[in-house]
Each structure stands twice: as C-alpha cells, then as structure tokens.
C-alpha cells in the first residue's frame, strides 16, 4: 500500500472512543467515510490514499492539541480475521518505533461497526524515486538518502520488527531545513521477530504472496520463514532502482507468465548487475537512458562508470538468493556504502590487487601518475594472469579439502556415534574436534592454521584464555613459516591477524605485557600491508593496544592510540559498533586519566550511536549508561547519575531478569546514588 502521509512518534491513547457525525456513515457496505465524520478526537477532512485493505484520511485533531493528522481505517468489507490481524500488526509495529525516519502511531480505536483505525502525525512527502528524480539528486546524494533509510530499518530490527514490504513507494521523502528527510511507512505486513505483534498470529495469508514482487526476497516468495535479511534484500532492490533507474527484473516480464512463473523467477533467476541493466537500456532506448542519467545530473556513460564495481557488488550482495550470503543487517549494508563513498575497498566485492590499486589511486589521484600506474598494471597483468588462475584453482581445492576435513571431524566426534557424549561440555567437545583436525590436516599446515584460528576464537568466546592462547600460538608459528616461505602483503595480513588474536587471549589471561608485544607486532604488520590507507584491521588493533596500555598504566600511550583508533573508525564507519566501542573505550582511558568531563562526553557520544543502531534496550546501552553514571558520581553529581542508573537497571531486568548479576549491580549503584543525592 502507498499512503501519502508520513508520521512522527508521539504518545497516544489506545482506547480512543468514536463519535459518529450526524447522518452516521458507519456500517455502509462500500465507499469512504464522509468529510466531517469524527473518530474520537479526530475529524476527517479528505481521503489521502488507499491500498489493499486500508484507507488513509487527512483529519483534524481538536484536543488535547490542535493539529492535522493522518487516520488509517480498514476498508469496508475487508474486516476478515486475517486482515484484522494484519491491521493490528501494523499498529503494534509502528508503536514500537522511536526513530525520526520511521512512522509512528499517535492514537488508535475502533469504529461502531468494528473497523479499527489509528492516527498518525501528518507530514507531506513524496515516494523515494519520485522525490530523488524531481530533485535531480546525484548518485552520492542518493546514497546519503539510502544511508538514513538503512538507519531507520536497523532501528526497526532492533525493536524486533521486519517490515516485509520495503520499496521506494513506502519511503516518503521531503526537504527540511536540516536537509533531505526520509520516512519509512506502511508496516502493514510487518512481522515481529522477538514476540507477537498482536494476540493472534497467522501462519499463512490464504496462499497469497505478502509483499511487492519487484522487491521481494526469495524466502518470502517461497512462503518460508522471514527474518531481517528479507528487508536487506528489499533495501538492495530499492537501492538498485534508486541508482540505476531500473529494477533488478523487468516488471512486465516478471508478471507475464502468471504467479507460479513469477515466484520461480524470484527464487532462481540471478539479477544482472545494475550497470548491465543500464547498458542494455542505453542500447535499446538511448533517450530513456539519457533521461535516467539527467535525473542524476550526469550522462549515461558517466553513470555506468559510477555503478560499475562497488555499487554493482553492493546491490548484488543484497540480492543474493541465499540469505546467508547477504549483508547480515542494514547497518552492514550502510557500512559498505560508506566505504564506497570514502573510496575504500568494500566487503561486497572481490578484493583483487587491481581493485585495491584503483582504490589507492582514486584516494591519492594528485600524488600518483595515472599513466604509470596503468602501464604497470597492464604489464603486471600479462605476467601474472596465468599464475593467478592456477593460484585460484589451488585455493578452491584447498577450501574444499578443508571443509571436508572439518565435516569429517565433526562426524567423528558426534555424540550419536562418535567420541563425544551428550553430557560433554563445549570446551571438551572442541578439544575432540581439534584432535581430529590435527590428524586430517597434518599435511596442509595453512588450512590447519585457519581451522585452529576459528577454534581459538570459539574458545575465546567461552572465556577460555589459556585454551585459545595455545591455539593462537600454533597459528602464529604456522603463519611465520608461511611468511618466510612466501613474503608479501597477504602473508603479513595473515600473521597480523594471528598476532592480534594472540594478543586478545593474553589480555583475557591478564598477561598484559605479552598482549602488548603481540598487538604491537600485529599493528606493524597491518600498517605495512595497508600503507597509508585506513583499515578496520589497523583501527581494531590500535583500539586493543590502547586498552592494554591502559591496563599497564601508560595512560599517555593509551590516549594517543585510542585517539587514532577513533579517528580511523570515524572515517571508515562512523555509525558502526566498532566506532562507538572505540569512543566508549576512549572514555574509559580519559576517566582513568582524571579527564572526567571529556570521558562523559565520549560515553554520551557512544550512547547516542548505540541507541540509534542497536535500540534503547540493548545490554550494551545499559553498560554505557552505567559508565555515564559512574563518571558523574566521580564529579560529585550523584543526582545526575540517578536517571542513567534507572535506565540501566530497567534494561538489565528486562533482558536478563531481576536476579541477574548485572541487574543487581545496577540496582545497588542506583541505591547508592539516591542516598548520596539526598546527602547533598
């Protein structure tokens, strides 16, 4: 459904009463409600739009405030049990949202003839594509707009809600004093991923495909269980159309052979790259291609160049048939879009040497001779093409052998017929797998090192510092041998990763001196491999080394390292989890240095990003609230510490229960803050 109004969150009464106007229009079998009809505090003025099962009206609210709102009402004759549940689902979904780019319910009620309605704040806006084309937004400007949409959908997912009908028509945009402002609307077929949206659930909707086929994920078309990655698919299809002016599949062809063929195409057909679709349009209809390009303030050739590589890869990563191969979340999609904007290699694309060189040149175009680089790349390509082919084939066989060895190792220790037993702990089970892999991959040291690294990471997640350290030491030794035999950037990165992980295990074992040595060597290798470029690997090692220096008491070194890490994360991925963790860590360093006001600013900055990207009831939000309260208490502001402690205790109780150690600790700190505040 495509409704004109967008909406902003405000509290409301879910039990609104209905006051019929004179000559009551309720109960009529068809048609819209007449202007002047009152629904609770709202007087309808005109119809704004309608979809499959709802009609949206402009209305005036008289009290408690006077304002224009939008009222969505179930269509006459559409009040079947399934539709009522869907309608209630939309109301419940919207009520969860607290994001400026997500629609929010103001009030709700039921008409005398039993049709539910809800009221929304009214804001005029245009559908995403129409707005972007009318404003003639450039490709970078369109990416900026999509980044805000990604943030909004990430917020919905943090609240446990999947939209399931994301498309440009459900993203309404307007230009405000602060810039372009999108709003995601119409959660009419949303699905709760944490708990039910309404008191009833519907397993299927009468065999219908719920959603819009052009933007629908394969699992949704197949009637399978839908999770947040279905929205990632729809975001990708919307991004594809926003950038290229064309959908992944031609709408007429998609629908030409009926429902069954359409479903099969969504399930099986691999969409072409956006640049391929646009190139085909250039060949078939040059005038239409020019119109697409002009709406982006460019030419068809220039637009093709902008789409190739990064944006092609990003869109197709979203549109993977296997959802495990898509971005895991809208925030991951947003991170790759930001990396593209920063001219950094994106995770969606194959990181070939030529691609990384092109990225380097694009970032340092005034310091590099493009002609020399082109000649060098050409010569290098002629010499290395055959070697690269052989190397790729060798790596493919190695990956197959490694996977087979791992599968056989798991089967060998399976409790149903192997060495393990049903009562065995996770760490003991992992040890059996390690022993099996040692035997099966004895003659493949590189593959064995990779598997040991994965198992070491698993042990570290169980807080097994000694066991993970033992494995990481073996990985480091193997990577050193590989590097001695075949020096180069790839070997440096592999050894750097192994040393970084070894540093983590040493840190958790409180062996801070050993951790520092491992992190320092990892940092040197990672910096050397990346050159002048920013990189997540370097930023993460800087962050961990700073924490280690803090534990060793070298606050000056810790401050320098964490400042560099925060700056790098801000350039790479400003809204990422890694960035706000680095900012939070800088707050810890500053707090230890006695810079309490600076530490508080860092904690508040980290909290702002966390709440936007993870939701307001995430345990990491509670931990940061505890940090804020602690630094305020140290400044003698116990009264100011009460509110964040109340929120932290509430989050912990909600997520872990009243008796959990974190809940108890937050509650005790709250009691102390209240007592201290009374003394002052």
Closest to 351 (Cα-Cα) out of 239, 489, 457: 489
In terms of Cα–Cα distance, which of 621, 615, 618, 624 is closest to 588?
624
Task: Give me the phi and psi of 270, to 5 degrees please.
Answer: -85, 120
Q: Structure tokens of 526?
A: 């990672």
Residue 575 annotated as catalytic: no
Spatial separation of the C-alpha atoms in residues 2 and 467, rounded to whole Å: 56
Spatial separation of the C-alpha atoms in residues 279 and 289, rounded to whole Å: 8
SS (H, E, C) 377-418: HHHHHHHHHHHHHHHHHHHHHHHHHHHHHHHHHHHHHCCCCC
Catalytic residue among 3, 107, 133, 165: 165
Please, are residues 220 and 209 in contact by the beta-carbon 8 Å criterion? yes
**Separation CA 553–CA 544 (nearest Å):** 14
Q: Helices (DSSP H) in 323-463: which residue ranges?
A: 330-341, 353-363, 370-413, 426-440, 445-461
Whole-angstrom Cα distance, residue 332 to residue 314?
Answer: 10
Contacts 24+ apart (CB under 8 A), 632-636: 632/600, 633/673, 633/676, 634/591, 634/596, 635/596, 635/597, 635/600, 636/680
CB half-sphere exposure, 320, CA atoms < 13 A: 14
Decide: 558 and 518 in contact? Cβ < 8 Å: no
Q: How far is CA 37 from the centre of its chain?
A: 43
Kindly tell me the sign of the dihedral angle through the C-alpha atoms of 216, 218, 219, 222: positive
Residues 105, 119: Cα–Cα separation, whole Å: 6
Cα–Cα distance for residue pair 308/321, rounded to 1 Å:
21
* All residues at 6 or more sequence positions from 441 whose CB lies less than 8 Å from its CB, including other chains: 402, 405, 447, 448, 451
Residue 240: how many CA atoms within 13 Å on its side-chain side? 30
Distance CA 78, CA 29 (A): 10
| CA pseudo-torsion sign 35, 168, 90, 176 | negative
Task: Kindly write down the DSSP assignment for every residue of 583-615, as one continuous string.
Answer: HHHHHHHHHHTT-HHHHHHHHHHHHHHHHHHH-
Place of tokens 């002009």: 294
Beta bridge partner(s), residue 68: 60
Q: Distance between CA atoms of 118 and 112, rounded to whole angstroms?
A: 14
**DSSP code for 34:** P
Q: Which two tokens stand for residue 652?
A: 């912990």
| DSSP class per residue in 251-276 | HHHHHTTHHHHHHHHHHHPPPPPHHH
Cα gap 264→266, rounded to integer Å: 5
Is the bond into 227 cis (omega within 30 degrees of 0)?
no
Q: Give the whole-angstrom CA distance, residue 417 versus residue 552.
A: 49
SS3 55: strand
Angstrom distance (rounded) from CA 197 to CA 425: 37
Q: Catalytic site residues?
A: 165
């Amino acid at each position: 459904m495509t409704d004109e109004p967008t909406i902003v969150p405000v509290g409301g009464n879910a039990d609104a009463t209905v006051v019929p106007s004179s000559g009551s229009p309720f109960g009529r079998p068809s048609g819209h409600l007449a202007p002047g009809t009152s629904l609770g505090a709202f007087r309808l003025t005109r119809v704004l739009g309608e979809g499959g099962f709802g009609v949206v009206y402009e209305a005036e609210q008289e009290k408690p405030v006077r304002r224009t709102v939008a009222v969505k009402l179930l269509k006459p004759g559409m009040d079947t049990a399934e539709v009522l549940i869907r309608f209630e689902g939309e109301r419940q979904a919207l009520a969860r949202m607290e994001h400026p780019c997500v629609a929010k319910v103001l009030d709700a009620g039921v008409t005398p003839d039993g049709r539910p309605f809800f009221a929304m704040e009214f804001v005029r806006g245009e559908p995403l594509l129409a707005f972007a084309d009318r404003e003639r937004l450039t490709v970078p400007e369109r990416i900026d707009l999509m980044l805000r949409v990604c943030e909004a959908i990430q917020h919905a997912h943090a609240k446990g809600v999947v939209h399931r009908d994301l498309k440009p028509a459900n993203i309404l945009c307007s230009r405000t004093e602060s810039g372009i402002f999108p709003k995601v609307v119409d959660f009419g077929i949303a699905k709760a991923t944490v708990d039910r949206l309404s008191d009833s659930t519907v397993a299927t909707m009468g065999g219908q495909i719920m959603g819009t086929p052009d933007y629908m994920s394969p699992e949704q078309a197949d009637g399978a269980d839908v999770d947040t990655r279905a929205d990632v698919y729809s975001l990708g299809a919307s991004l594809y159309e926003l950038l290229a002016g064309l959908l992944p599949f031609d709408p007429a062809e998609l629908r030409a052979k009926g429902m069954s063929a359409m479903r099969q195409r969504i399930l099986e057909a691999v969409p072409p790259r956006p640049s391929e679709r646009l190139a085909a349009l250039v060949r078939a209809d040059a005038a239409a291609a020019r119109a697409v390009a002009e709406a982006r303030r460019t030419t068809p050739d220039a637009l093709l160049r902008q789409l190739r590589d990064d944006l092609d890869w990003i869109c197709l990563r979203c549109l993977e048939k296997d959802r495990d191969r898509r971005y895991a979340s809208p925030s991951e999609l947003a991170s790759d879009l930001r990396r593209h904007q920063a001219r950094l290699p994106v995770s969606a694309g194959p990181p070939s040497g030529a691609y990384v060189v092109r990225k380097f040149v694009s970032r340092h175009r005034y310091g590099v001779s493009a002609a020399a680089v082109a000649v060098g790349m050409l010569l290098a390509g002629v010499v290395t093409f055959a070697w690269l082919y052989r190397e790729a084939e060798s790596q493919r066989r190695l990956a197959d052998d490694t996977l087979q060895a791992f599968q056989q190792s798991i089967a060998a220790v399976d409790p149903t017929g192997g060495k393990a037993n049903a009562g065995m702990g996770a760490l003991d089970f992992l040890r059996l797998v390690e022993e099996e892999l040692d035997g099966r991959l004895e003659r493949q040291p590189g593959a064995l090192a990779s598997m040991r690294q994965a198992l070491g990471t698993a042990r570290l997640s169980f807080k097994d510092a000694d066991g993970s350290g033992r494995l990481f030491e073996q990985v480091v030794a193997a990577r050193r041998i590989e590097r001695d035999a075949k020096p180069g950037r790839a070997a440096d990165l592999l050894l750097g990763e192994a040393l970084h992980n070894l540093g983590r295990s040493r840190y958790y074992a409180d062996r801070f001196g050993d951790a520092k040595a491992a992190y320092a060597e990892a940092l040197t290798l990672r910096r050397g491999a990346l050159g002048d470029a920013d990189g997540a690997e370097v930023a993460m090692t800087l962050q961990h080394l700073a924490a280690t220096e803090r534990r060793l008491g070298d606050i000056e070194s810790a401050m320098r390292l964490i400042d560099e890490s925060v700056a790098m994360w801000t350039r790479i991925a400003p809204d990422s989890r890694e960035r706000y963790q680095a900012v939070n860590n800088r707050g810890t360093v500053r707090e230890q240095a006695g810079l309490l006001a600076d530490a508080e600013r860092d904690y508040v900055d980290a909290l702002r990003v966390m709440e936007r990207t993870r939701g307001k009831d995430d345990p990491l939000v509670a931990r940061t609230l505890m940090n804020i309260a602690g630094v305020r208490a140290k400044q003698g502001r116990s009264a100011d510490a009460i509110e964040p402690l109340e929120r932290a205790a509430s989050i912990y109780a909600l997520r872990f229960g009243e008796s959990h150690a974190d809940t108890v600790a937050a509650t005790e700190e709250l009691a102390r803050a209240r007592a201290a505040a009374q003394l002052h």
